Structure 1
């Protein structure tokens, strides 16, 4: 436990999308920026992302939890990669369903099974910004969002349209810069070469979702009830943000920055500003990742 704490603190110190009612962007100086998103985005009380305060006291009090993943979640799979003008999104099927799922243990992930739907990324134009969630008010270069919907629903859309605060489970992974390439990104980056402009879509192979998580079998997750971070900002997300950073190299990150957005500008700084916590509880877990029997 002490070793895990020391590792985390060392790493820490150095270290979708809903249905838009119209065009949106991330530039605060534009009419389409976050202040203009309206409705739930500006009126909701459980908005995301948020700042997460971490210290030794928080980590020492973290409850132990288990996170089970299906066999398909850890297998190399064919995938679809798309540039939607706001992010790069990977899905396993065109209808945003899959046979890959996550399930929590007792008192984790609302004791539900969540089906993987899609993975997308948020990144910045420099090493000091890019993540949507911040840790002790510090941002990092990239954040990946592994979007899942509860198996109680037939689809991602049905889950988003519900009023269930646990309808979606999004796992947020912070990526910190490394001198070495992260081999888990290679399938995505190979396909990314075909996605230079908004609307481009291509097929890829050998995507392993588990390998895109931090390498440790145990890590800290911070769970809270929040929202989608794009319009319409539906408050139906059980967020699980991983505190231990995964890795991406500078050259790999640059390949994301080289694609174009919906306005034919470099696609970067596609993150929503931190929102008020509004007295919500952020629960800390020391999480063990386990392969499911099924």
Structure 2
């Protein structure tokens, strides 16, 4: 049986992978697919791809684009979630900050440099016409638990993370959400190491076919809203809202979209150059 390692964040977006694994669908094709949770998000997964700890990553679009341009020998093979990620902008519940303007020049908690929380802090700054050199400051907190600690003890002032994942922390009074910042592109893609693509095209196609069959029908799975609410400790109405806003994809991200991602990252000085579409993607 062929062992394949895949990584992703342990969030509701990736429940379809858990369901297909639980059903043994990959083993039926002779594939031992091993899922690895990455609580630190995109930056940690980029490192894992480079170090060959994982073969495949379900990863934020902007983060993997940056890392491929920075030399990560991987390619995007498909969009996974077509809709934008809605990033909540959070502060500690007892902090004095009430508006986006209040956090201008304050310290943003980020999981690591190159992560989604880091890149989206730039997008938020640009959206609010801040000075990107003067008005941004960062504190590395590694993951969501680190953000709770950092915002609570004051080593950081605000934190961007997917709003439904952090909603329980808003509900219990740990965080206050002072705004939202949707990503200006499809949020998650599937990226694969180039050497794995070259030697495992058939297995990779099987994996994508299986997950795509599930995401196509995901919203129609009986009581899927209750399953998500229980598994991820979410309120049922929050899950229903999230499901109504989220669309999965079974196609390769298009050239126009990737050019828009690159133009934005280049304008923010996050990437040094804009590269050809073919440098970023592999069409199976």
TM range (shorter): under 0.3
Structure label with greater radius of gyration? 2
TM-score with structure 2 setting the length: 0.25
Higher helix share: 2
Higher strand share: 1
